[in-house]
């Protein structure tokens, strides 16, 4: 929002998650008779929709810089001509600021000053830049004394050629200098003439000196705005997430520093606890044995009547057990934290080496020292070759390990297949044994029913023989009976023959029953053996499956660690 000739101009912003790029005007001269907002039609290409940008009015033109939308952070600069109602992008040169939003801005003569803001991945900035409108050139500042802390959303106000910096938010929401007011005396900053700038663009660096040795900032001053070489000039373009890797590295370094700080705090506590434990061990001697059971036995060795002390020492023993659990938990956490620290230290060392290389190369290019550049490139090639050799060695080792794991996996798979085949055969044999057992049981049941029928028939025959014998005795004892006994003898002989035959059949059936009973016992024992073999095969198969699963997980972990 900016004011010009009694009118308030509003451009861009965000409404309900949607970013805007419309221009709205409110005429204060007609207020309150006509209090309404009006949209200005834009006939040319307007800047991309955004919010969090800054604006300043100079010579009937509205300048905007920076801002953000859902996918981009911007560092381009545009101006809107109030007369022609046309947007134009400024092809700025010099030290173009990094993309940001929420920075503070102020206009001093023909120069727009911006301070702070929020950059990529929420990184809070604390740098100061100046944009000369007439020359369309950006300047940065070096050798600052004690500038304001990085912040966004601060207030930058101009009063009598002095800029006052106050307020804002930081990354953690609290600033040590949040109640301070910083003052920048713009009269102490002198910019070079345009012809001198054009001549010095061929040089690696151009430094602007101040006409006063005192600091421009009350707590730290911008003393030397400098120009970039022509080879490093760039046009402002919307910046995507090209700095994501750098920001991630900075976050990792900050997280590592936080972990180190926490470990240092805990280290002091651990040292205190160890010192107390050593003094207690020196006083109590053998009471503090390494064996936990021996310690508990010594603690509970009391006489009768000492119930209070016994209760106290029971509580001490339970507390001691909790301490052991806490120590084991702390050791596990410490191991994981040490591994994380080692990884972070490796990343930090690599980042420092890369930064040192690019810094040295930048200085060599800046001073146009071809020998130094060639030496740096040679060293860089050697370093990369060594890294490539190490990577190849690691890759070969990983491939060897992978081949071994694959071989073991194939052997385990073959073992599993054999176990499955044996289990299948055992299951088939078990099913066959069960079928034979069932058939034998059916045969035994039939034979048993036949035996019962035969025994019943034998009993009937025996009863008939007894009845006929009685009749025969009665007839023989009768003297008066002259009846011919030949038929009775014949019938008796026939019945005796039938009885003998039935007895023989019973004996044969009993022999068959015993034989089938033996077969039944054999089949039952065989069935038990097959069931036991089947159960053992299932256990072996489950064991092989568990080993394969563990091997697969270890292979996956090794592959993940090797890829890292």
Kindly state the helix (H) or strand (E) to which residue 40 belongs, with its residue range. strand 37-40
Q: Nearest to residue 99, comparing CAs of 127, 132, 80, 58?
A: 127
Query: 322-365, pLDDT tens digit by residue?
Result: 888 888 888 777 777 888 888 888 888 888 888 888 888 888 88
User: What is the Cα–Cα distance from 153 to 341, expressed in whole angstroms?
Assistant: 35
d(CA 324, CA 329): 9
Res. 521: pLDDT tops 50: yes
For residue 23, how many other CB atoms are within 10 A of its CB? Answer: 19
**Is the predicted pLDDT of residue 548 greater than 70, yes or no?**
yes
- Per-residue pLDDT averaged across 102-123, rounded? 91
User: Measured between alpha carbons, how far is 399 from 391 in angstroms, rounded to an integer?
Assistant: 12
Return the minimum-mean-pLDDT range out of 66-80, 87-101, 195-209. Answer: 195-209
Q: What is the pLDDT of residue 303?
A: 55
pLDDT tens-place string over residues 484-514: 556 777 777 888 888 888 888 888 888 888 8
Per CATH, 2-245 and 419-563 having the same topology is answered no
**Average pLDDT along the chain:** 78
Q: What percent of the chain has pLDDT over 90?
A: 14
Q: Which of the pair, 416 or 57, is modelled with greater confidence?
A: 57
How would residue 10 be classed by pLDDT, with cut points 50, 70 and 90?
very high
* Per-residue confidence (pLDDT) for residue 229, from 0 to 100: 37
pLDDT band at 240 (very low <50, low <70, confident <90, very high): very low
**pTM of whole model > 0.85?**
no
Q: Where are the domains of the chain?
A: 2-245, 248-368, 419-563
Q: What is the 3-state secondary structure (H, E, C) of 314-368?
A: HHHHHHHHHHHHHHHHHHHHHHHHHHHHHHHHHHHHHHHHHHHHHHHHHHHHHHC
Torsion 152-157-163-167 (CA) sign: negative
Token pair recorded at residue 11: 């451009």
Q: Which CATH number fits domain 419-563: 2.60.40.10, 3.30.420.10, 1.10.287.1490, 3.40.50.300?
A: 1.10.287.1490
* Fold of domain 2-245: Neuraminidase (2.120.10)
Is residue 169 over pLDDT 80? yes
Mean pLDDT calculated for residue range 85-96: 91
pLDDT value at position 48? 92
Give the integer Cα–Cα distance in Å for 468 and 475. 10
* Cα dihedral 370, 372, 374, 377 in deg (nearest 10): -140
| Percentages of the chain per state (helix, strand, coil), in multiples of 5 | 55, 15, 25
Task: Give backbone dihedrals phi and psi of 134, rounded to 5 degrees, phi first.
Answer: -65, -40
The per-residue pLDDT for 205 is 36
Q: Average of pLDDT values for 207-213?
A: 38
At 72 the three-state DSSP class reads coil
d(CA 371, CA 369): 6
């Amino acid at each position: 929002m900016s004011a010009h000739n009694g009118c308030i101009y509003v451009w861009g912003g965000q409404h309900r998650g949607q970013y805007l790029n419309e221009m709205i005007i409110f005429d204060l001269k007609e207020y309150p008779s006509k209090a309404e907002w009006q949209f200005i039609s834009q006939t040319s290409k307007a800047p991309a929709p955004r919010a969090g940008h800054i604006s300043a009015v100079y010579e009937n033109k509205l300048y905007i810089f920076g801002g953000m939308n859902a996918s981009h952070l911007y560092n381009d600069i545009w101006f809107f001509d109030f007369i022609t109602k046309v947007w134009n992008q400024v092809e700025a040169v010099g030290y173009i600021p990094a993309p940001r939003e929420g920075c503070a801005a102020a206009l001093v003569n023909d120069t727009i000053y911006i301070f702070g803001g929020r950059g990529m991945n929420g990184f809070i900035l604390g740098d100061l830049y100046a944009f000369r409108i007439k020359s369309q050139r950006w300047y940065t500042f070096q050798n600052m004394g004690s500038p304001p802390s990085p912040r966004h959303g601060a207030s930058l106000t101009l009063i009598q050629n002095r800029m006052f910096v106050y307020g804002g938010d930081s990354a953690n929401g609290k600033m040590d200098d949040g109640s301070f007011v910083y003052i920048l005396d713009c009269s102490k900053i002198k910019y070079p003439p345009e012809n001198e700038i054009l001549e010095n663009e061929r040089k690696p660096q151009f430094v602007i000196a101040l006409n006063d040795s005192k600091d421009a900032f009350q707590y730290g001053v911008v003393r030397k705005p400098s120009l970039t070489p022509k080879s490093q000039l760039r046009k402002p373009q919307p910046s995507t997430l090209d700095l994501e890797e750098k920001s991630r590295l900075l976050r990792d370094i900050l997280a590592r520093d936080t972990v180190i700080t926490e470990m240092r705090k805990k280290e002091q506590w651990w040292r205190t606890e160890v010192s107390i434990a050593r003094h207690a061990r020196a006083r109590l001697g053998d009471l503090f044995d390494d064996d936990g059971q021996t310690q508990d036995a010594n603690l509970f060795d009391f006489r009768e009547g000492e119930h209070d002390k016994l209760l106290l020492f029971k509580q001490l023993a339970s507390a001691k057990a909790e301490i052991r659990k806490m120590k084991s938990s702390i050791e596990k956490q410490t191991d994981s934290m040490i591994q994380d620290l080692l990884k972070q230290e490796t990343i930090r060392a690599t980042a420092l080496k890369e930064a040192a290389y690019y810094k040295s190369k930048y200085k060599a290019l800046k001073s146009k020292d071809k020998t130094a550049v060639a030496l740096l490139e040679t060293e860089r090639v050697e370093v990369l070759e060594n890294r490539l050799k190490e990577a190849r060695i690691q890759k070969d080792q990983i491939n060897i390990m992978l081949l071994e794991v694959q071989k073991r996996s194939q052997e385990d798979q073959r073992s599993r297949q054999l176990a499955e085949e044996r289990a299948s055969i055992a299951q088939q044999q078990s099913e066959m044994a069960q079928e034979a057992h069932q058939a034998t049981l059916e045969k035994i049941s039939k034979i048993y029913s036949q035996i019962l029928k035969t025994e019943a028939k034998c009993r009937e025959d025996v009863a008939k023989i007894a009845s006929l014998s009685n009749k025969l005795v009665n007839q023989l004892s009768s003297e008066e009976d002259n009846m011919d006994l030949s038929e009775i003898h014949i019938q008796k002989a026939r019945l005796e023959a039938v009885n003998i035959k039935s007895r023989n059949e019973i004996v044969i059936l009993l022999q068959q029953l015993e034989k089938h009973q033996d077969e039944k016992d054999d089949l039952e024992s065989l069935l038990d053996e097959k069931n036991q073999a089947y159960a053992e095969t299932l256990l072996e198969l489950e064991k092989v499956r568990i080993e394969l699963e563990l091997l697969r997980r270890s292979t996956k972990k090794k592959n993940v660690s090797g890829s890292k």
